[in-house]
């Protein structure tokens, strides 16, 4: 099989259907039986699993995995990747912000690289409507921190469209953690450590209404998550135990509120 597309989905009953319609209408005529779409539902309390199962009943290329626990985007992606059988495995957000043609552009351009990701910040990217200034500032601050902490020369670690060769995924799978907000950074950092170059290309991205993200809270959680991740891969990894007993406890309290 040529391609596996993983869609992590948490409480996406209203946005998942239109997204699947668009992706299936695009990819099935082009790839036929050479594509599989795996919806990885995690911790949802709405009808996300029912919506996904309806598509699976009508399309043999669609699979649905359901994890009742809240394992986050990273956990859902890993769950999907572990089931996938494609020569290339990728993931994209359930809101449909990345149009199918933009995701297919990753497939066409990955070549011999181990990984390719979409960027909303490279020249030539088309982002509509433009994100609020507060989100753009938060994004650039986060990106600067990632560059300084991990040495990743990447403009957009958080764009939800990424594609890996099966070989690259197999190389990093043993060391990937189920990190709530730092999963994308962890994935790219581990690819770099394993010697697999990551190509970054401009993309088309549409902001889709219905996001449940609280930007100030998410920004704090993302910052704490990447600092914890950096400590794990440093001579000061022992500090993670202290982190988990202090800031980690605070984060768990935030998640419950």
Per-residue pLDDT band for 255 (boundaries 50, 70, 90) equals very low
What pLDDT was estimated at residue 224?
80
User: What's residue 232's pLDDT?
Assistant: 79
Rounded mean pLDDT, 56-68: 97
Q: Which residues contact 51 (CB under 8 A, 6 or more apart)?
A: 12, 13, 16, 17
Phi, psi of 124 (to 5 degrees): 100, -10
Q: Pick the more confident residue, 235 or 92.
A: 92
Distance between CA 94 and CA 156 in Å, rounded? 18
Answer whether residue 256 shows pLDDT above 50.
Answer: no
Let me know if residue 56 belongs to a domain.
yes
pLDDT at 75 over 80: yes
pLDDT band for 211, please (50, 70, 90 cuts): low
Question: Does residue 140 fall inside a structural domain?
Answer: no
Per residue in 101-151, pLDDT tens?
999 999 999 999 999 999 999 999 999 988 788 888 888 999 999 999 999
Let me know if residue 247 belongs to a domain: no
The answer to the question of residue 148 being in a domain is no
Angstrom CA distances, 65 to 26, 68, 75, 123, 236, stand at: 22, 10, 12, 37, 37
pTM above 0.85, yes or no: yes
pLDDT at residue 138, rounded to an integer: 85
Q: What is the pLDDT of residue 179?
A: 67
Look at residue 254 and tell me if it is in a domain: no
Q: Which domain holds residue 191?
A: 3-132+156-210
**69 vs 216, more confident:** 69
Beta bridge partners of 201: 118
For the chain, give the mean pLDDT: 90
Rounded to the nearest 10 degrees, the angle between the axes of helix 72-83 and helix 183-193 is: 50
Q: Kindly report, residue by residue over 1-19, the tens digit of the pLDDT.
A: 899 999 999 999 999 999 9
Task: Give the model confidence (pLDDT) of 221-253 as tens digits.
Answer: 788 888 888 887 777 665 777 767 776 665 555
How many distinct structural domains can be found in the chain? Answer: 1
DSSP state of 154: -
**Across residues 144-169, what is the average pLDDT?**
96
Question: Is 109 a domain residue?
Answer: yes
End-to-end CA distance of the chain: 43
- CATH number of the domain enclosing 64: 3.90.550.10
Mean pLDDT within 145-174: 96
Tell me whether residue 49 is in a domain.
yes
Predicted confidence at residue 30, as pLDDT, reads 97
What pLDDT was estimated at residue 204? 97
Residue 164 is assigned to a structural domain of this protein: yes
Contact 83, 91 (CB under 8 A): no
């Amino acid at each position: 099989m040529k391609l596996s597309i993983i869609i992590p989905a948490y409480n996406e009953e209203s946005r998942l259907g239109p997204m699947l319609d668009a992706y299936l209408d695009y990819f099935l005529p082009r790839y036929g039986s050479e594509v599989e779409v795996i919806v990885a539902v995690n911790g949802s309390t709405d009808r996300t699993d029912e919506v996904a199962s309806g598509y699976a009943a009508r399309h043999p290329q669609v699979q649905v995995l359901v994890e009742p626990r809240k394992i986050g985007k990273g956990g859902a992606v890993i769950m999907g990747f572990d089931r996938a059988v494609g020569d290339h495995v990728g993931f994209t957000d359930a809101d449909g912000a990345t149009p199918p043609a933009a995701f297919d552009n990753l497939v066409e351009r990955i070549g011999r690289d181990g990984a390719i990701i979409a960027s909303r910040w490279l020249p030539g990217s088309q982002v509509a409507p433009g994100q609020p200034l507060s989100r753009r500032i938060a994004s650039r601050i986060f990106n600067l921190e990632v560059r300084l902490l991990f040495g990743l020369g990447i403009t957009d670690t958080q764009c939800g469209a990424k594609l890996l060769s099966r070989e690259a995924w197999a190389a990093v799978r043993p060391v990937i953690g189920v990190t709530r907000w730092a999963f994308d950074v962890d994935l790219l950092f581990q690819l770099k450590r394993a010697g697999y170059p990551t190509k970054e290309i401009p993309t088309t991205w549409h902001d889709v209404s219905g996001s449940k993200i609280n930007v100030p809270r998410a920004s704090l959680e993302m910052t704490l998550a990447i600092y914890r991740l950096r400590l794990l891969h440093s001579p000061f990894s022992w500090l993670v135990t202290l982190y988990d007993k202090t800031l980690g406890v605070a984060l768990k309290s935030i998640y419950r509120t």
